[in-house]
Chains A and B, each alone.
Chain A
Amino acid sequence: AQTVTQSQPEMSVQEAETVTLSCTYDTSESDYYLFWYKQPPSRQMILVIRQEAYKQQNATENRFSVNFQKAAKSFSLKISDSQLGDAAMYFCAYNRDDKIIFGKGTRLHILP
């Protein structure tokens, strides 16, 4: 059963604008990590940002930030000042039983 849901298969954003990718997950654990990974076209998947569930403060990495709502089991990714290099598949993930479970991904297009 899918336990990470990304409800937006594709999204588009104008260059320099802000976009938010949504993610919900299902877990009964209280301590876990959440991740956003980026997969550029024909390139390796890389970690964008990581959130520790026991930390209330939302993680931030330069133009990338998250909105973590633990009670709602929601973990959205906000990309500010979108750049052409941000075009990629974005995967939300979390660790469960010592393995990382991924959503189906959101393809992000950047419009020049």
Chain B
Amino acid sequence: KAGVTQTPRYLIKTRGQQVTLSCSPISGHRSVSWYQQTPGQGLQFLFEYFSETQRNKGNFPGRFSGRQFSNSRSEMNVSTLELGDSALYLCASSQVARDWTGELFFGEGSRLTVL
């Protein structure tokens, strides 16, 4: 079974631009979560999508948005990039059944550098 796939793996943008990151979850997983990882803050929760609906949202400005498609693939978008948005963006998928134990399966991440 293929793992979580994130594209692109690396990208460089300049301030003010926007970026779209993609995540394909493990087949059969309907929940996709996004995290921002920085050295000083660790992993911070961005949002979670389940069956094309945003179920949870972290404390990030509205410049950060996401969506999920009917095949469970998800995208996140960051508009008007700032230097502080430089980070590793991690996507994680999970099955989310009645007996969900909370285990997340992570992709390798998309490393965004904002110049």
Contacts and interface: CB of A to CB of B under 8 A. Distances in A.
B48 interface: yes
Interface in B89-115: 90, 92, 101-104, 106-108
Nearest to B57: A99
Contacts of A91: 42-43
Q: How large is the interface on A (under 10, 10 to 19, 20 to 34, 35 or more residues)?
A: 20 to 34
A101 B59 CA distance: 12
Interface string A82-112: 0000000001000101111111110000000
Nearest to A35: B102
A43 B42 CA distance: 16
A30 interface: no
B35 A102 contact: yes
B55 A98 contact: yes
Interface of B: 3-4, 33, 35, 40-45, 48, 55-56, 58, 90, 92, 101-104, 106-108
